[in-house]
Amino acid sequence: MTRTLKSILAVTLAVASLALAAQAQGSKQKMKTGKESFGKLPDGTPVDLYTLTNANGIEMKVITYGGIVTSLKTPDRSGQSGDIVLGFDNLQGYLDKSPYFGALIGRYGNRIGNAQFTLNGKTYQLPKNDGDNTLHGGVKGFDKVVWNARPLPVKNGSALELTYVSKDGEEGFPGTLTVRVVYTLNDQNEWRIDYTATTDKPTVVNLTQHSYFNLAAGAAPNNLAHEVYLNADRFTPVAKGLIPTGELKAVKGTPMDFTKPMAIGAHIDDNYDQLQLAGGYDHNWVLNKTGNGMTLAARVVEPTSGRVLEVSTTEPGIQFYAGNFLDGTITGKGGKVYVKRYGFCLETQHYPDSPNKPSFPTTTLKPGQTYKTTTVYKFSAK
């Protein structure tokens, strides 16, 4: 072999092995869900932060405290990445005063009237943490516990499994509830949430996710320009304390009609009893469903950035909360003051107060059954 041939061969081999190494590194990075520390609770319990990424540059940060999504970066129509969720820069913010920013909610998302319910003839008394009612699982709901976390190997994007075992009697609810939530950020630009739970005694369950979105990623004064579509011909009107009356009311001819896209701000302050009672949109919409499968529940478009958020779910309802109770007293990430209606939530769920409303779809879970729901938040830009 001539010297030239030899050196050509050597260079070719070196290039090939470099390419292989890069490929291995790439697939490793793809599999990897980065983990770092996010501080400690006052009792010393460590809190970890995991970073999930997908092939299109979407990045989601999740902490083990409350399963909270602390940051979610998605591209706008020009490809510019921006953080579209509200939250804090550090753990202390979440511990001090957080209106459930980014958190997993349980055992019972939304309200249970008069902080009690009766199951199989026994009445269970729950903590009153919202006037006379129980909101989002009580004083220390699933948003305030530390979850076990484990990255799951997935071919498409990255995934994190969160598990928590809630003791029999925790926050007044019966039964040991074993909960598993998987967050998957896939390469179709979807954040998929799979919830499962089992119990050893009859109980009630209604799990949801409480991220506050602002698709303008800091570039708008509030959320009022977001255009919202809800796939719902009816909603559950509420009485004082935001407890449903039990009626399923048609949205047609009311400011609750989002069957055609409408800006959040278009009618939010109308002189309509439901809006006056709740201080804006803070209601459960009854999704138009044709079975138990996934249904498109909501689509939100932010006109200046072009970002679009689509929500699909197996759940029968969605709480559209317009952030009416934000009042400028919370300063979040990067010093941002969260003024009234800065962020909005789209919480997929069973209807509020179902344990006391026999006509609503049941939230009862019995031993031997598996609670199983899925919600997908899909991100795009137009």
Q: Which residue is nearest to ligand BGC (CB)?
A: 99
Q: C-beta of 181: minimal distance to ligand BGC in Å?
A: 17
The nearest distance, CB 36 to ligand BGC, in angstroms, is 28
Closer to ligand BGC by Cβ: residue 97 or 366: 97
Q: How far is the CB of 358 from ligand BGC (least distance, A)?
A: 22
Catalytic amino acids? Answer: 210, 347
Residue number with CB closer to ligand BGC (183 or 321): 321
Please, which residue, 99 or 332, has the CB nearer to ligand BGC? 99
The CA-CA-CA angle for residues 65, 211, 381, to 5°, reads 130
**Binding residue for ligand BGC, selected from 66, 99, 141, 317, defined by CB under 6 A:** 99
Q: Confirm or reject binding of residue 321 to ligand BGC (CB under 6 A).
A: yes
Q: Which of 83, 282, 310, 315 binds ligand BGC (CB under 6 A)?
A: 282
- Which of the ranges 63-71, 73-81, 180-188, 317-325 carries the binding residues for ligand BGC, by CB under 6 A? 317-325
Residue from 20, 152, 218, 325 binding ligand BGC (CB under 6 A): 325
Q: Which is nearer to ligand BGC, 159 or 297 (CB)?
A: 297
Q: Which of 299, 347, 354, 376 binds ligand BGC (CB under 6 A)?
A: 347
Q: Considering only residues 219-278, where is the footprint of ligand BGC by CB under 6 A?
A: 242
User: Residue numbers of the site for ligand BGC (CB under 6 A)?
Assistant: 99-100, 242, 282, 319, 321, 325, 345, 347
